[in-house]
Amino acid sequence: MTKSLLGFIFPSLSENQHTAEHADALHKRRPLFTTLRLGLLPGAYSREKILMLFASEPQEIKSKLNAAYESNVLDPLTDRIDDLYDDLP
């Protein structure tokens, strides 16, 4: 199991290299890090916080985005939105 997982994550270590299928096996690094840590990364936004943000009024969204920018946490916020984008209303 571990061998096949490592082969999937690092295709260059795999005996069966499928470069077309795994052109960039680490392109989803955030979910990988989250999985390895068995939870959210430190400072990451929870699913609930993201859903609350999208349910907020436009002025409140603007305020929260400005606060994230000022606190230098806009990148983790946009990363988490990207992770959950398909599930957002």
Token representation of residue 39: 């939870």
Contact 89, 54 (CB under 8 A): yes
Model pTM score = 0.54
Q: What is the pLDDT of residues 37-82, one digit of tens each?
A: 666 666 778 888 999 999 999 999 999 999 999 999 898 898 888 8
Domain boundaries, the chain: 1-39, 41-89
Question: Contact at 8 Å (CB) between 50 and 80?
Answer: yes
Residue 53's nearest CA partner among 84, 18, 16, 23 is 84
84 CB-contact burial (10 Å; exposed 0-12 / middle 13-18 / buried 19+): middle
